[in-house]
Structure 1
Amino acid sequence: MPAEAPVTAFILVKTMPEWLALTVKEREHAFSTQVLPAIEARTTGVRSRFYDTEYYSARVTDVWVWEADDHESLRLLIDALRETPFWDRYFEIVDLLVGIENGYARTYGLDPVATIST
C-alpha cells in the first residue's frame, strides 16, 4: 500500500488593521515569537509558503500554503495556528481549502496529469 499523500492546506486570509499597524520588524518578530514556537511545540512534518495577493484581490490579501505529511499533522498545525494572534486577530481567515495533490490519480491508479512549459 502506498504511503499517505501529503495534505496541502490553502488558507486564504485578509490582513487586519492591527497587523498593518505593525512595522515590518514588528511583524517579523511577531511571526518568529508567536507563530513558529506554537507550531514547533504542537506538530512536526509541516512546511509553509506564503503568497501576496493584495495586488490582485481586495477580498484575499495573502494565501498561506501549508503542506503536512498527513492529516493528523495538518490538524495539529491548524490547532496551533488558532491559538496565535495570527488567526482572526492579525488576519481574517477568509477560507480554508484542503486537498491532496493528484488525489484522483491516486484513487484510480493513474499517472498524474501535469503540464510542462519549455
Structure 2
Amino acid sequence: MTWTIFMLLRATPHWLGHSITERDSIAVDCLAQAGLNDHVSMRFYDAEAFSGTCSDVAVFETTDLAAYYFVIERLRNTPLFAKPYFDVIDIIPALENGHQAFQQAERA
C-alpha cells in the first residue's frame, strides 16, 4: 500500500528573514541531506494565503514506512527543523482509497 503523509508546517521568522534565493539554496541542501530516494518522494505546497494554522504542506509518499521514518530522522537534523526554519504543526498519515483495499482483502 502507498502511504501519503501530510506534514503541516509553519515557517518561522528565521526562514522568512532570508531572501528567496537563500531559502531555495537552504531547502536544496537540507533535502539532499534527508536522502529522498525511490522509496520516499516529497512534494511541497504553499498554504499561507489560505490557512492561519500552517504556511506550508509537505506531502510524502512511500510504500516503505521505515524508509520514510529514516528520511524524517535525517531531515529533523537539518536547519529546516533544527534551527528551526519550520515548526511541525501536525503529521497526517493517510491511505488513498484505503477502504477499497480493505474491502478487497476481506473478499479474498
TM-score band, normalised by shorter chain: 0.7 to 0.9
Query: After the TM superposition, which segments of 4 or more aligned residues of structure 1 sit over 2 Å from their partners?
Result: none
Listed as ranges, the gaps of 5+ residues in structure 2 are none
In the superposition, the TM-score normalised over structure 2's length comes to 0.86
TM-fit CA distance, 1:44: 4.3
The separation in 1 between residues aligned to 2:38 and 2:76, in whole angstroms, is: 17
Of 75-84 and 22-31, more deviation after overlay is shown by 75-84
TM-fit CA distance, 1:69: 2.6
**Secondary structure in 1 matching 2:96:** coil
Cα root mean square deviation, aligned: 1.7
Q: Is 1:38 the counterpart of 2:38 in the alignment?
A: no
Q: Among residues 77, 84, 92, which one is paired with 1:83 in the alignment? A: 77
Q: Is 1:12 the counterpart of 2:8 in the alignment?
A: yes
More helix by share: 2
TM-fit CA distance, 1:22: 0.5
The separation in 2 between residues aligned to 1:22 and 1:8, in whole angstroms, is: 30
**Secondary structure in 1 matching 2:45:** strand
**Residue 55 (structure 1) aligns with:** 49
**Given that residues 49 and 65 in structure 1 are in contact (C-alpha distance below 8 angstroms), is that contact kept between their aligned partners in structure 2?**
yes
Q: Is 1:108 the counterpart of 2:98 in the alignment?
A: no
**Given that residues 43 and 76 in structure 1 are in contact (C-alpha distance below 8 angstroms), is that contact kept between their aligned partners in structure 2?**
no
**Percent of counterpart pairs with the same letter?**
31
The separation in 1 between residues aligned to 2:71 and 2:5, in whole angstroms, is: 10
**Residue 113 (structure 1) aligns with:** none
